[in-house]
Structure 1
Amino acid sequence: MNGELAASVLLFDMDGTLVDSTASVERAWGRFAGRHGLDASAILAVAHGRPTIEVVTQFAPAGVDPVAETDRIESEEIDRTDGISEVPGSAALLGSLDPARWAVVTSATRALTLRRLEAVGIPLPKVLVAADDVVRGKPDPQPYLQAARALGFEASEAVVFEDAPAGLESARAAGAAPVVVGGYRGPAAEGLPRVPDMAAVRVRATDGGLAVSLC
């Protein structure tokens, strides 16, 4: 039992937090690696939670257009929703919340995010901050700062649910209170509360805010 956290708003990463897309993501990076003779395991070691174009730019050989390659990867992912599923409890939790009190903050593009959420039956957010909405993606704090302000609050008033180091670092840098979702236990998760999935989260309204229980 992790206890209870106070918040004004809740901010959720998507991949690994609301949607289990691990197999789909690994296949996409495997295809990218295969096209260019790269080591897929090296790419996967750093790709999770980061914008696709940043990873492509880091690994693409000289002469490869990062924008065109990113567009290809994103297009393939939008066309392939097989192998993705809801992280347990996600749809029920988000469906129970006031839409003005939560947002999705993701390193995926807006089109891919909406496709994945719809594919697994998760309510679409009133506020979505995607990779194409920011100049600097996770681990920079900009995505979480931007999402909180779009809801009318500061990030210091937010509880953030994240599964990856880049996102946890982004949330911390923004001044939010991160909660680890799933099994990541690296340095970025040290000392943070955690839940196995969204089924372990309970939220109730309080005077002017939210009380978040973590089981």
Structure 2
Amino acid sequence: MSLPAAQPEPKPSLTVRAVLFDMDGTLVDSTAIVEQVWLEFAERYGLDYDEILRTSHGVQAGDTVRRYAPEGADVVALTAELGDMERNRTDGIIALPGAEALLESLPDEAIALVTSADSILAGIRMRAAGLAMPTTTVTAEAVTRGKPHPEGYLKAAALLGAEPADVVVFEDAPAGIAAARAAGMRTVVVGRAAAGHDADLGPGMWRIPDYSAVTVKTVAHDDGGHLITLTL
């Protein structure tokens, strides 16, 4: 007698009023450029490149320069130099699988980009990846405290007229995930998990490798907004 086939677990389904996206590593794969720029910075000053990479992902460049630059260095000038390097390098930038289709399926008035990049760099990278920029964006110059502080995500939710409990954030970096969680928002971690890493996911958190399997259903709400159901 054969045993009945195991039934697949139902996919998680989230209903929200607004969807917020990080950019680098979440919508756009710019890993090669980011690593190249930080390697040049580390080599110039004899710094620990691996440590810089470990702590810089998702954080504003100026905060990383301030943390690692040698004493007496001109942090403002160094940050501007690194910014110029990043803005002039676009080779290899691509969108994550399914990102373009997902953005196109969501109402523009219910989404926002929340990134540690400045507005110029964000525009360059989104264009290089072939992605449309959401009308609502919160970039580095729009906040006084960068990730992992929740200011950016809270500001984006307010601009969209949504309460934190009615928002989902798509993020990939520890600093960004911490910011979303501190803002009281449900969080989808984008990227393939290392062995055992899923154990770090707490309540109100999920993980997807990319957007290939994400589906969207949008219903107009009586108040003029939307109820968006994302199936992961």
What range describes the TM-score normalised by the shorter chain of this pair? Answer: over 0.9
SS in 1 for 2:97: coil
Give matches, 1:1-215, under 5 Å: 2-184=11-193, 185=197, 189-191=201-203, 192-208=205-221, 209-214=227-232
- The TM-score normalised by the length of structure 1 is 0.95
More helix by share: 1
Structure 2: segments with no counterpart, 5+ residues: 1-9, 222-226
Q: Percent identity?
A: 46
The TM-score normalised by the length of structure 2 is 0.88
User: Which one has the largest radius of gyration?
Assistant: 2
Q: 1:189 to 1:81 in 2, by over 3 A?
A: farther
Deviations 1:5-24 (A, max 9, x none): 01000000001110011111
More deviation, 119-128/152-161:
152-161
Distance in 2 between residues matched to 1:66 and 1:199, nearest whole Å: 40
Report how far residue 186 of structure 1 moved: 7.5
Query: Which region of structure 1 is more displaced relative to structure 2, 82-91 or 189-198?
Result: 189-198
> Aligned-residue CA RMSD in angstroms?
1.5
- Structure 1 CA distance, aligned partners of 2:144 and 2:214? 31
Secondary structure (helix, strand or coil) at the match of 1:200 reads coil
| Counterpart Cα distance in 2 of 1:96 and 1:79 | 31
Partner of 1:198: helix, strand, or coil?
Answer: coil
Give the superposition deviation at 1:36. Answer: 1.2
Number of aligned residues: 214
SS in structure 2 at match of 1:15: coil
Gaps of 5+ in 1: none
